[in-house]
Structure 1
Amino acid sequence: MDERHERIVELVREYGSLRVADLADHLGISAVTARRDVEALASEGRLDRVRGAVHWPGTPAPQGRTRQTLPEARPAERTPEPQDVVIGMVVPQSRHYFGEIVRGAREAVTAAGGRLVLGYSDYRLDQDAVQVRRMLEAGVHGLLLTPSWPSGTGGSENEDDIAVPAVLLERRGEVGTRAAGLDRVCTDHAGGAGLAVRHLVELGHEKIALVAGDSPTTVQLRAGYEAALQVFGVTAPPVEPIVLEAGDRAAAGMDAAAERLSVLVAKGEVTAAIVLSDTDAILLLQSLRGLKERIRVPEDLALVAYDDDVAALSDLPLTAVAPPKFEVGETAATLLLQRVRERAAGASPGARRHLDLLPELRVRASCGESAPDGLKESR
Structure 2
Amino acid sequence: MNQSALLFLLSTVVGSHAAAPSLRGVQTKPQTESRQLQEVTVMGECSLTNFEAAFNGSTNPNGDLASALGMLSITEDELKAKCEAALTTNQIDLVDVVGQGPQFLKNFFDGGTDWNDNSTRPASSDFLADVDASSQVFSAPNGGADDKYPGYFSNFQNAGEECRLGMIECCYTTKRSGTEPFMNAEMCAHDMTLSAQSNHIHMTSWAVYEAPEKQAYCSGFAYENGSFGDTVKYNTLFHMAMKTNLRQHDFVQEIPGAPMCGCVEQMPIVATTHADCVEAKEGYKIVNESIQLNISYQGCGDLKTYYSNLEGRTHLEKFFVDTKLPSDSDCTKATESFLNDKFLVPSTSA
Q: What TM-score bracket applies, with the shorter chain setting the length?
A: under 0.3
TM-score calculated relative to the size of structure 1:
0.26
TM-score calculated relative to the size of structure 2:
0.27
Specify which structure has the higher proportion of helix. 1
